[in-house]
Amino acid sequence: MLTPIVDDQYVAARAYFGAVVGLLFLEGLPRLAFFLLLKYSSTATRKSRHWWPTVWLYKLSSFPLPSNLLREYHIADVLRFLVLAALNIAFAINENQYTTDYKLYGWLTIANGGLNLLLATRSNLFSIVLRLPSPVILQYHRWIGTFTFIHATTHVAFNIMHDIETDQIASQFESPRIQVGILAWICLSFMFLSSLPIVRRRLFEVFYYIHFLFFIFMVGALYHTTNGPEFLLPGFSLWVVDRALRVWHDFRKIDVESVQYYAGDLTKFKVTGAWRAQPGQIVWIQLPKVSFLNWHPFTVAQVTNDDKPVTTIAIRGLGSYTRSVQQLPGAGNGDGAKSLRLRVDGPYGIGRFNWAKAQLVVLVGGGVGITPGLSIASFILQNAHKDATSKQVHLLWIVKDKSHVAWFAEELKQLYALSQQDGCTVSFSVMIHVTDSLSGGDSTLEMQPKETNSVDDRLPWDLHTGRPNMGAWIRNIKSNSGAVDACVNLCGPAMLLYEARKACISESDAKTIFYVEDEVFHL
């Protein structure tokens, strides 16, 4: 017979809550220590080769999963999920002999709900204090939300089955406490279903607005149970403060300097008045002429280093909202653009790396996924005068059609010009691969590139036709870099990220480790 690891269900819920918070601290403290070490050290140069067990541990934990459905995850994600799942299973072990035993799943629902509220704020304390990357926080948020739904459904199912067997279902549903509890579970079910990838990625507005049902879930949970406030109110209080600050900041004046439309359904906004973003951060924007209610997240592509910084935001027409952006009037730099209203919330997000200290930077982007790479390269080149250390920035951009190069040609030329200034210690190389001429629809990333215009005398990049050989490109970077570790940022389709991560991990050795972060929106 299975017996619970903690007899008192309330104590078990508190212990589980503390265990998950401890897990976040366990993962975050080493990141914080490493961040502070780099921040306050005079140099990021490594003095010796890596120890081979360290290299293999990194390779094992970072290698992407081979499954088509799970290519965007790697071994470290699996370990993170297994630890969280083990905690949920361990604390859910129960005899289930009496109806009072079913309350354990209700307690675990409340505990998980409280944890999820702690992770729901955009300015997340775990990210800010512990330097936990925003994608990691979002992973925990999704998984804990799933376990909240599982425990709540188990709690409801066991009680309903018992009431049916004992012919008490009608009398039980007359109780306001039961009615409110069922309503809370229904709201939670809608939130869970709308957060599934097939809904979240195709019907973002449905996902976003259904999540406001968490108000009803939280109030219902507080009414349904005792001692709920200590689990739910801390996270909710932080959310209220975060929301109030966001609303206040949303009313700052944002001026649209220009709007440009490009072939391939891309719109590029240049705005002033937004807060200066750090490399790879996102902003949420609202365009009243498209929708007065809808906010969508986009990566900041570039921020100029001027007295009046200009922020570049690119929007690709991939969904109903983003396609509507392509219909906006006001293209160019005239009065039409300046009359366009745009609200900005952010920037938000904590990345894995301290880009100011990185000596070898590898940036890979597919299509509009080049925006994080542009923001990182822009940050490094604009601040090159602050550090005499020699640095290398290698950018690989894969586009479907040659006309798409125009999307960010201006930004690439500006970055190249910065790298050519006197005293700049950063070397900047750009390679662009155009894939539209591939015959037979071959989608493999292993084929050798067919060079059509290797070095264009007028443009600061190498232009190739065909998909890149990721392994060869990474090996070439490693052979020309010396004994220095690389910081790698990837953003694009799942297959591109899989091949790029695999190449980086495969080429990591005692001399050079390619540390990888993925810039993929998971909302």
**Using one digit for the tens of pLDDT, what is the confidence trace for 448-491?**
333 433 334 456 788 888 899 999 999 999 988 888 899 999 99
| Torsion over CA: 188, 190, 195, 198 (sign) | positive
**pTM of the entire predicted model:** 0.86
pLDDT value for 444: 37
Helix axes 470-479, 494-507, angle to 10 degrees: 40
Instruction: For the domain covering 9-246, report its CATH number.
Output: 1.20.120
Q: Which residue has the higher pLDDT, 46 or 513?
A: 513
The CATH number corresponding to 255-348 among 2.40.30.10, 3.40.50.2300, 3.40.50.1100, 2.30.31.70 equals 2.40.30.10
Distance CA 201, CA 149 (A): 20
Topology match between the domains 9-246 and 255-348 = no
Distance CA 147, CA 16 (A): 12
The encoded tokens of residue 333 equal: 């730099």
Domains of the chain, residue spans: 9-246, 255-348, 360-518
Q: Which residue has the higher pLDDT, 269 or 395?
A: 395
pLDDT value for 123: 87
CB atoms within 10 A of CB 307: 5
Work out the mean pLDDT of the chain and round it to a whole number.
85
pLDDT value for 47: 54
Distance CA 486, CA 489 (A): 10
Residue 42 pLDDT grade (very low, low, confident, very high; cuts 50, 70, 90): low
In the block, residue with structure tokens 């037979």: 440
Listed in sequence order, the DSSP H helices in 251-272 are none
Q: Give 475: exposed, middle or buried? Use CB within 10 Å, 0-12, 13-18, 19+.
A: middle
Distance CA 103, CA 12 (A): 11
Question: Which class would CATH give 360-518?
Answer: alpha beta
Distance CA 123, CA 113 (A): 19
Q: Give 391: exposed, middle or buried? Use CB within 10 Å, 0-12, 13-18, 19+.
A: buried
Q: What is the average per-residue pLDDT within 146-165? A: 94
Contacts 24+ apart (CB under 8 A), 205-211: 205/294, 205/321, 207/523, 208/294, 208/295, 208/523
pLDDT value for 78: 92
Per-residue pLDDT at 108 exceeds 90 = yes
